[in-house]
Amino acid sequence: MDHNIGAITPLKVAELPRDDFERMMTDHPRITQALFWDELATVSIQREWTLNLGQRTAYERIAHLLCELFIRLQSVALTRGNSCDFPLTQADIADASGLTAVHVNRTLQELRKDGLIELQSKTLTIPDLQALKNAALFNDNYLHLNGEGRHLDAK
């Protein structure tokens, strides 16, 4: 492999032999369609993050990251109103945003001061999601969340 995968929270992993995977795709076209949509979203997210790292300010990058994470969690019904679990450390945010942990700390303080986020006890609260989206120059079209297969309980 040319990459690594890491987890911040506990998870379960299942290994599927290639023959079983190919049979499943042949026998269940909706699974093939879901994999196609997943790849479409993955490539879109990569393009957005290339733009993020190359052209957005630290403030916009971190606001964008928080918007993306919140909306993706919301799409699978893992938010509570305008809050969600947020296990990321400042070092994790620094790694994701191409910034130093010190710069992340200052930027998070600025986002708090501006009333755009609250971070407390590993919980992120976004008092006004639209205001955070505006600060982040965020448009969630690239996430492709309005298509078929969206979690039925998500809004």
Q: Which residue has the higher pLDDT, 100 or 150?
A: 100
Three-class secondary structure of residue 91 per DSSP: helix
**What is the reported pTM?**
0.81
CB 25 within 8 A of CB 35: yes
C-alpha closest to that of 135 among 119, 111, 108: 111
Residues 56-70: what's their mean pLDDT?
96
Instruction: Kindly tell me if the per-residue pLDDT of 116 is higher than 60.
Output: yes
What does the pLDDT read at residue 149? 47
Instruction: Kindly tell me if the per-residue pLDDT of 100 is higher than 70.
Output: yes
Q: Centre a 10 Å sphere on the Cβ of residue 127 and count the other Cβ atoms it contains.
A: 12
User: What residue ranges define each of the domains in the chain, with the CATH number in brackets?
Assistant: 18-143 (1.10.10.10)
Three-class secondary structure of residue 78 per DSSP: coil
State pLDDT tens for residues 120-138.
Answer: 999 999 999 999 999 999 9
Instruction: Kindly tell me if the per-residue pLDDT of 153 is higher than 80.
Output: no
